[in-house]
Structure 1
Amino acid sequence: MPAAAMPAARTRRPRTSRLARILAVAGTGAAVVALPLLGAGTASAAPAATSTAATTVAGYPNNLDGWIRESLAIMAERGIPGSYDGIYRNIMRESSGNPLAINLWDSNAAAGTPSKGLLQVIDPTFAAYHVPGTSFDPFDPVANITAACNYAADRYGSIDNVFGAY
């Protein structure tokens, strides 16, 4: 007696969160996309969303390298001069790469306007040199870099010409 034919098993595609699908579309490289998605279909997988995004809204890595590169792209659109090396050198001197750095001890702080962010910009300078299309938050890394470079370009010709406190 022949064995009864069994219907072919249908496999269900594991559900992924909308965030995971968005990351897959917005990711800039296969490694960025693959890592958050691995194991997403198992019951024991960790949640796909984390408290910090892997990329910025513009798709750059959400780290110092990405912030500098995103700022350089905005600067190029606006004709603001500066190089990766010049920005990086000044960030390392001013904040050691901490976007939440704030100086509470210098003359600016004593006057009530402490220097803030990666390139230690005071609020009046940030407001005066803010670049449209960036955040109005001086602690936003891209906005801080771009405004500081705009100021340095106006005052010194370029952030590349800044080798000390400015």
Structure 2
Amino acid sequence: MSIAVRVQHEDFSVADEYQALVGSSDCGAVVTFTGLVRELAEGGLQALHLEHYSGMTEQVLEQVARQAQQRWQVEQLTIVHRIGNLALNEQIVFVGVASPHRCAGFEACMFVMDFLKTQAPFWKREETSSGSAWVAAKATDQVAAERWQVSDVSA
């Protein structure tokens, strides 16, 4: 089982990331997700600026990747997250999972993305024609992440 985590300014190649996942000997499924900058801001989005807490961010992403590997049968897991100024339709994030079975791959990928949206130390600022504003967390993202919480069933 291997984990690859990168936080970078540079764009990434989905094809290269996919090929790196395919090499797993126990791989029966490869599930990937690529997130793009999209228009959600009023006033016309010109750019999205992403900041992070260097060193801590990578450590937190590795922890969530290990959690996914513990919860599901996952052979390889890759997280690539970009920072800096990104234009509309540019790639922001890549999550790739190689697993023996599709269900484990889909669930692990969704788990990682839900974590990234709610708990990873990234901050987003939208740059529009009318100014800039920090992006607030969305309640819908928090609801999605709550499905992964394990309840305490001790009696």
**Bigger Rg, which one:** 1
Question: Do they superpose with TM above 0.5?
Answer: no
More strand by share: 2
Q: Greater relative contact order: 1 or 2 (C-alpha under 8 angstroms, separation 6 or more)?
A: 2
Q: Shorter chain as normaliser: what TM range?
A: under 0.3
The structure richer in helix per residue is: 1
Q: TM-score, normalised by structure 1?
A: 0.26
